[in-house]
Structure 1
Amino acid sequence: MKSEILILGSTGSIGYAFTENLISKNIPVTILVRDLEKAQNLFAGSTSVEIIKGDVQDLALLKEVAKDKKVIFHGINYPYNKWFGNMDLATEKVIEAASVNNAMIIFPANVYNYGTLPIIKEDSIENPCSKKGALRVEIEQMLRDAAKVGKCKVLNVCLPDFWGPNVLNEGIRPVFENALKGKALPYMVRTDIPHQLVFTKDAAEMMVRLMQRGLAQPYEKHNYGGQVQPNMKSFLNRISRLANAPEKISIFPKWMFSILGLFMPMLKEVKEMLYLFDGTVILDDSKVRSIFPDFRETPLDEAILETLNWFKKRK
């Protein structure tokens, strides 16, 4: 069966989970990757994946690969310090590629658009309090505008912080690696308040369900929040226990990012996002849960053990 789905960002956190979900359902996919070896290692043994080497910024190649696709998963991401001039340009090119076949773009969004708003609904007013949040607002407006004029269809799925296999950002990777080494688990700012997190496999399942359901409108936005942890201390200690490690946590305060940001561009960019760890922001996902009342998250201990095992095999 020929693939009708193009996945961009398949070797990244959420793109990997989305790809794996479709593979598990025997749905063929095409992935466009810069790192061919990494992709071959991640999806070794799968006969459902067509791997094409290339860069999303190569518009001619992207349009050629996308010309017969009905769905394009836009999971492209860059390091924080490379967002500007890359994330927006990549999105413009994804829209152009989708316009060839009026494809559906699936866009995993985040909460940055809404600043410190404590409860976020699909129709909440966007009010970013960071440069990166302002950029996300611009990107989502690009997608809305493209859908409005008929260039493509857009399924926008807003997610909170995510964790799981192949989530290698500096907020998650050291947590699981340190747990396996019996070291203190690092976390930012404070661990005594509720924090919403989504296991990437659950996010992928929700996005696949929405994709298969289809769109009633050219542009649809859905929140999916995963689970709210009562506090991060209990969540992190749970990881340590399941890894048979001591329950130890190392908290990095705000001032540390101010100092280290003077020398490390990436940490300077992280600094403006610390408000998300100093307060609680919750996605209201009652709409999507009403659409799929049978949906259930992966049991927490099962999800943690699966993630620990993935990182153990990666070593």
Structure 2
Amino acid sequence: MQKALVLGASGGMGYSIVKELSSRGIMVTAFARTREKLEKLFADDPNITIYTGDVFRIDDLDGAANGVDTIFQSANIPYVEWEEKLPIMMSNILQTAEKHSAKLAIVDNIYAYGRSVGEKTSETTVKNPHTKKGRIRLEVENLVKKSNIPALIAHFPDFYGPNAENTILNYTLLNIVKDKSSSFVGNQSISREFIYTPDGARAMVSLSLQEKAYGQSWNIPGFGTISGDEIVETVREITGYQKGVSTVSKNMIRFLGLFNRQMREVVEMFYLNEEPIVLNGEKYENFIGPIPRTSYREGLRQTIEYMKQTQ
């Protein structure tokens, strides 16, 4: 890989992918809508070129993809726009990849798998989405598979990490860093899986450098499972935080949904807090080697340190 394009470079996983590519000496075009944020994140890195644009404008994508051999798709849009716009966005990206003869590495979540089958979810687990957003993700995945583009799809659990702002753990950590009372989404006694974004980026870039990884899906798990109680206790030990952390229940989100369309969309995904999906990473380990796994304690420490420096 000589030059890569990262879409959604100002988001949590996009940011970490850009940093990982640059650390390996690969030239990167960091693409997002807001120049100010891109400059704040990447202006001091000579391996990174900033490109502002809109994934819904083919001309913007075309200009950004000039001379690249791999496109990393980590851009996302609000839930309320998924049904109408997510397939259009992917079609634009596929068209751009085809025009520039570029490979495609796609950041994906676990929604298309549907409910947990009671064991670790592998790439051979049948995708049986029971939510609208799960069905949309599967539709987009099928668009990719029907194309002629060499593409790999990486499924991740929920993110946390530097610059990973639109995540449920960031929602909790933000007030803790400000030393305010905070909240945790879901039952704090239930253990679930999260991935530290630099680990996910490292795994994805390693896959993208292997020709045989394309044309396949890959599950990238985190550092095992952890409960909300354990997260809060770990954060207290790291920071000395002593204020209360309340629980945000499904009914609370449902009530907010009466006034906020985005919250209405969040409700159907709440099952992930009640019936967590845990990913099986054996396929990756057999192909690449050990999955990068930063302990939750260290990952939370580094995330909090980043938040303190940038708030």
Secondary structure of the 1:298 match is coil
Q: Is the 8 A contact 1:240 1:247 kept in 2?
A: no
Q: Which residue does the alignment assign to 2:105?
A: 106
| Residue type at the aligned position of 2:34 | D
Q: What is the rounded CA distance, in whole Å, between the counterparts of 1:252 and 1:20 in structure 2?
A: 33
Q: 1:157 aligns with which of 151, 154, 157?
A: 154
Which stretch shifts more, 60-69 or 154-163? 60-69
Q: 2:296 aligns with which of 288, 296, 300?
A: 300
Q: Does 1:270 align with 2:266?
A: yes
Mapping of residues 53-92 of structure 1, within 5 Å: 53-92=52-91
**1:172-225 C-alpha deviation (Å, 9 max, x unpaired):** 223222222333442223121220110000000000111112225x51111011
The 4+ residue runs of structure 1 with deviation greater than 6 A are: none
Deviation of the 1:262 alpha carbon: 0.7
Secondary structure of the 1:283 match is coil
Q: Which residue does the alignment assign to 2:31?
A: 32
| Residue type at the aligned position of 2:298 | E
Q: Which residue does the alignment assign to 1:131?
A: 132
TM-score scaled by structure 1?
A: 0.93
Mapping of residues 1-315 of structure 1, within 5 Å: 4-118=3-117, 119-146=120-147, 150=148, 152-169=149-166, 171-215=168-212, 218-246=214-242, 248-315=244-311
The alpha-carbon distance between structure 1 residues 197 and 206, as it changes in their structure 2 partners (threshold 3 A), is same
Deviation of the 1:20 alpha carbon: 1.0
Q: What is the rounded CA distance, in whole Å, between the counterparts of 1:294 and 1:86 in structure 2?
A: 36
Q: Is the 8 A contact 1:63 1:96 kept in 2?
A: no
| Residue type at the aligned position of 2:289 | P
| Residue type at the aligned position of 2:234 | R
Q: Is the 8 A contact 1:185 1:236 kept in 2?
A: no
| Residue type at the aligned position of 1:234 | E
Which stretch shifts more, 282-291 or 156-165? 282-291
Secondary structure of the 1:205 match is helix
Q: Is the 8 A contact 1:102 1:153 kept in 2?
A: no
The alpha-carbon distance between structure 1 residues 84 and 223, as it changes in their structure 2 partners (threshold 3 A), is same
Consecutive unaligned residues in structure 2, runs of 5 or more: none
Q: What is the rounded CA distance, in whole Å, between the counterparts of 1:198 and 1:245 in structure 2?
A: 23
Q: Is the 8 A contact 2:203 2:292 kept in 1?
A: no
Fraction of identical pairs, as percent: 27
Q: What is the rounded CA distance, in whole Å, between the counterparts of 2:42 and 2:63 in structure 1?
A: 23
Consecutive unaligned residues in structure 1, runs of 5 or more: none
Q: What is the rounded CA distance, in whole Å, between the counterparts of 2:201 and 2:137 in structure 1?
A: 21
Secondary structure of the 1:266 match is helix
Q: What is the rounded CA distance, in whole Å, between the counterparts of 2:167 and 2:193 in structure 1?
A: 18
| Residue type at the aligned position of 1:111 | I
Q: Is the 8 A contact 1:22 1:28 kept in 2?
A: yes
- RMSD value, Cα: 1.7
Secondary structure of the 1:108 match is strand
Q: Is the 8 A contact 1:163 1:199 kept in 2?
A: yes
